[in-house]
Chain A
Amino acid sequence: MILTFENLSSNMAAARRLKRVAISQPGFLTLNPKVTPTDLVSSRRKRVNKNKKKNWNKYSDVQDVEEFLEDLVNLKFCFLCEEAAEPVKGKKRKGKSSRPLRIDLILQHDSLVAPPKDVLAYQKPNAKKLRRTAERAEKLAANGVVPRSKKRLLNRTVVDRMSKKTETEANNNPERDFYDIWGQETKDLGEPWYLQQTRKKLVKRPEKLNEKPSVLPAVEVIAPGGSYNPDFFSHQELLREAHEVELKKKKVEDKLERQLAYNKADTATEETILREQVEGLVEESEEEEEKDAPKEDGEEVAVGAIAVADKKTERQRKREKAEKMKEQQRLTERRQTEQQQQLFQLRSIKTSIKQQEETTQIRQKRRKAKEEAQKAQPRRLGKLKFQPQDMEVQLSDELAGSLRQLKPEGSVLMDRFKSLQKRNLIEPRERAKFKRRLKVKYVEKRAFKEIS
């Protein structure tokens, strides 16, 4: 099928080609006089919509019009040239088109009477009205009356370019102004339903979020020993506390050291190294014999452990069963008597119950107290545990005699930061380590190299 179609199409093409060849012959006349045969060869006739202006411009033949216009321009140019430059007359004559055609001259307007003026071209519509309004406006302006349109222009609010800036004022602008945030009632912007649906209404904050995560106060005042000029005893007290903290730290350190300690005797000496190297080369027959002896004992023990249990006889089984039954009976009887006896032990039972309750109460109290104490403790909120700050302390000889000589100890910034951590507001964490992705290569510059 496809093949046949191709054949057909090729046949048609051949026929068309023939036709074009015929047209291009010089003797052959075309219907359209403007279309030259060469044109037809280069482009196929196109069907064009004539209802588009674009297409008019593109496909309509404007050549003759253009030619005419060109002629006109040339004419004018020639006249001008003739007037300006007489000596180059000879040259001008070369172009035939420089002289106006006779037909043009005939068609020229040769009457000496001027054509009548077109009155309409000079008339303005509504001229009288306009003139009158202008006059009135002038009069009013002289009196100082501003027309309404101008007034409107003047009254128009000036679009403030700066207003946008104030709107997006930074949060930490030192000149920012404050207002009574608690005093003013929020303005009703519309229906609550509308506000909610358009997400203009803020979601209500749950009450639980307003609870503080710790019972500790925001500012913990330093112990009285931390005064710049402390009382002797309170200072001693503070020193003792600091000492205890240090002791604890030391203890931890010592423990770590102890755990990491190894036997000094185990270190490799020359002797041991030598022995290791010669191991197996020297005969050690005696030791081997010694080793063999205990092995045999072990085997014997193992054999003795595996003892096959003998099967019980019928009689034995029956007797065991009877014994079991008897025992159970005995126990039930005993339980019964005990229960009967409990009737007479009511008082002691009561006391025992009371005791139990008391102990549970004590335990409850203790648990509660522990919980309370826990509330003041920092929680474990992340990878790291909270590390309390180093205690600020000045030794007795560091104490300043007067305020002028005081050397401040510790930092308030650190204190604040630790306080935030202690109150569970932020999780304790380490500073992120800076990791270099690419290796740095250090190269000495040549100029530098020469010196060093």
Chain B
Amino acid sequence: MGGLQKKKFERGSATNYITRNRARKKLQLSLPDFRRLCILKGIYPHEPKHKKKVNKGSTAPRTFYLLKDIRFLLHEPIVGKFREYKIFVRKLKKAYGKTEWSAVERLRENKPTYKLDHIIKERYPTFIDALRDIDDALCMCFLFSTFARTGKCHVQTIQLCRRLTVEWMNYVIASRSLRKVFLSIKGIYYQAEVMGQLITWVVPYQFSHDHPVDVDYRVMATFTELYTTLLGFVSFRLYSSLNLVYPPKLDSNGESEPKEESEDDYAMNSESYLEKLSALSASLARVVSSADEEEAQLDQFPSEGEDMEKMEAREKELKQQEAQKKLFEGLKFYLNREVPRESLAFVIRCFGGQVSWDKSVCIGSTYDVTDETITHQIIDRPSVGKQYINRYYIQPQWLYDCVNAKILLPVEDYFLGVTLPPHLSPFVEEKEGDYVPPEKLKMMALQRGEKPGNEQEEDEEEEEEEEGEQEEEEEQEEDDNGDEEDDEEEVAEEKNLKKMEEQRSQDKSLHVKVTPGKLKVENKARLEQEEKAEEKRLAIMMMKKKEKYLYDKIMFGKKRKVREANKLAAKRKAHDDSEKAKKKKARK
């Protein structure tokens, strides 16, 4: 026997962790500074597995950090800057107290500042790393850019956030990388695909802030400080990848040049440039004046079997994406003043549409309401005074739904004063057997290229049209100047009806042509199916007892899911029917 007696808490997990206060003392920083440093350097508290061991026998709840992390922090040059800043504040206070204004001024001039560039490089060694973490940065910047310029945080920070968000939106427009949009009650969710990374961010609605009290603004501001730097470097890289000038400049020889007249009324000279950029209506200048962009083609590799199938699927997807990118190309939109301008302009421009608005709403409008070539006017009010025949008056939801559906949806459901179909979330992906809302089914059918031509639906549509007329009549009673609008509505409806008829007739002719060919295909398919079914049955028969039990269980689960989905669908139908009946009753 012999040797030294082992003491408690001198080895093992007790030595691997350090409490927050001890770490703070080790770094000689105040708590806010320590917090800021940890956020900037990406060092987070850690929950030890055995708290009692780490806490030296005590079970009091404490915040722990890994000792090695704190040791790493000791080498950070910014720590010195924090200390300098502390001293600067002390000196400034003293000078103020003594009312030595010249000293105050001198100190102010030499205020110690620091840069986060090296931290960004250290935390995100490659560009892709940074891109993966950009979600947070975007959310934060969009959030801060909507803040009022009051005392909650530095005005400069807000301005910088605004600049960065505008740059980001311009990049997304230029690269046409927006994929999904979702209008929620909280804010607008966007998803873009940038360099193969799916990036999601949320933008609050404008002017919707009541500042919550239990949020630590200092912590949020620190995160923003880091994220603005990150986003700046990322957007520089993104711009250079597209051969765009950074900081962004408006393309001076673009065909849609913003009007110059109202600039002075709208913004100060110093701000007007950013404002024009943030109008999103003009395209950006390129470093190399735009030569025709080469269509990215998928590399062809000689491959066999399943790989081929996969390749084909991917190619198809790519084609679809390309088509989606040009969704609004050739369309000309006009935004009424009551719709959210920035969001809509962003979405329209992301898919190649042209957009304008009233001069007094924002800088950078490109054409007036009176322009005859406008195809769609986005409007969100029960009625309009003067209507043009050659354009659709639609509600803003149509745009968002089109983006999510990746096709141009029929306009009829989104006309003025029509009850809108539900706005579905594009972020849900239904698995097999889940309940799918009928609206989504309809959309999927449209995506596949089928036209909703069922008799029932026709009936419904007719009914809806009737309803529309009824509503219009009601409106007529209310409004004195509803006549014109009614006429125009009718005209538009007639047009639509004609169109639909034409389509139907085309469909019929097509059917006649196609049927003989189709039959064969069906036969083949059926044969294949039968073969497959047979194989499956045989496989089931060959199963072991245990496996069969499992298989039965799985199948039962699936069936149950389907049953539930069917139940929901039936419920929905009943609900719809009852609604319809109610409406009819109300009419009578």
Q: Which residues of A contact B (CB under 8 A)?
A: 168-174, 176-183, 199, 202-203, 205-206, 209-210, 213, 217-219, 221-224, 226-234, 379-383, 392-394, 401-404, 406, 408-417, 420, 424-427, 429-431
Contacts and interface: CB of A to CB of B under 8 A. Distances in A.
Interface string B399-428: 000000000000000000001101111011
Interface in B198-257: 200-205, 208-216, 219-220, 223, 225, 228-229, 232-233, 235-237, 240, 246-247
A178 B123 CA distance: 17
A403 B437 contact: no
A402 B72 contact: no
Contacts of A177: 247
Given A171-B115, A229-B422, A404-B338, A210 B212 contact: no
Contacts of B56: none
Contacts of A410: 185-186
B186 A409 contact: yes
Contacts of B35: 426
Contacts of A393: 185
17 contacts: A170-B111, A172-B225, A178-B246, A181-B120, A205-B123, A221-B427, A224-B425, A229-B422, A393-B185, A404-B339, A409-B185, A410-B185, A412-B204, A413-B143, A425-B39, A425-B44, A427-B63
A269 B40 CA distance: 64
B235 A178 contact: yes
Contact of A181 (B61, B121, B135): B121
Given A224-B425, A233-B572, A406-B205, A431 B183 contact: no
B319 to A, nearest CB: 27
Contact of B44 (A180, A383, A424): A424
Contacts, number: 243
Contacts of B422: 227, 229-232
Contact of A382 (B62, B127, B140, B156): B62
A172 B157 contact: yes
A218 B424 contact: no
Contacts of A223: 425
Contacts of B126: 182
Contact of B63 (A176, A182, A229, A381): A381
Closest 6 A-B residue pairs measured CB to CB? Answer: A224-B425, A174-B159, A218-B135, A178-B232, A379-B47, A412-B204
A431 B424 CA distance: 38
Given A205-B72, A381-B45, A408-B204, A431 B225 contact: no
B69 interface: yes
Contacts of A430: 214
Contacts of A222: 182, 184-186, 189, 425
A412 B422 CA distance: 23
Given A183-B237, A221-B200, A408-B208, A227 B184 contact: yes
B557 interface: no
Interface string B126-163: 11011001011001100100000000001011011011
Contact of B143 (A213, A379, A412): A412
B233 A217 contact: no
B573 to A, nearest CB: 11
A202 B118 CA distance: 9
B187 interface: yes
Contact of A408 (B129, B187, B201, B396): B187
B388 interface: no
A394 B185 CA distance: 8
B185 A426 contact: no
Nearest to A420: B223
A92 to B, nearest CB: 57
Interface in B74-110: 75, 77, 110
Contacts of A417: 215-216, 219-220
B232 A176 contact: yes
A interface secondary structure, majority: loop
B380 interface: yes
Contact of B424 (A169, A202, A231): A231
A205 B211 CA distance: 37
B575 interface: yes
A199 B77 CA distance: 9
A431 B212 CA distance: 12
Contacts of B214: 414, 430-431
A380 B236 contact: no
B530 interface: no
A413 B208 contact: no
Interface residues of B, number: 106
Contacts of B133: 218
A178 to B, nearest CB: 4
B68 interface: yes
Nearest to A219: B200
A411 B143 CA distance: 10
Contacts of A232: 422, 572, 575
B287 to A, nearest CB: 13
A351 to B, nearest CB: 15
B437 A234 contact: yes
A383 B55 CA distance: 13
Nearest to A412: B204
Contacts of B389: none
A381 B62 CA distance: 7
Given A172-B228, A379-B47, 9 more contacts: A168-B110, A172-B154, A176-B232, A181-B117, A183-B237, A226-B425, A402-B380, A413-B204, A426-B35
Nearest to A204: B122
A403 B183 contact: yes
A188 to B, nearest CB: 16
Of B114, B338, B437, most buried by chain A (CB within 10 Å of CB) is: B437
Contact of A219 (B117, B201, B233): B201
B72 A209 contact: yes
B42 interface: yes
Given A382-B61, A413-B212, A182 B183 contact: no
A322 to B, nearest CB: 42
B121 A168 contact: no
B45 A206 contact: no
B467 to A, nearest CB: 15
Contacts of A170: 111, 113, 156
A63 B171 CA distance: 93
A230 B182 CA distance: 11
B340 interface: yes
B122 A205 contact: yes
Contacts of B338: 404
A426 B202 contact: no
The interface centre, meaning the residue of A172, A173, A393, A411 with most chain B CB atoms within 10 A of its CB, is A172
B72 A414 contact: no
Contacts of A416: 139-140, 143, 220
A203 B72 contact: yes
Nearest to B114: A171
Contacts of B361: none
Nearest to A200: B77
Interface in B374-410: 380-381, 395-397
Contacts of A182: 121, 124, 126-127, 130, 233, 237
Contacts of B61: 380, 382-383
A403 B339 contact: yes
B27 interface: no
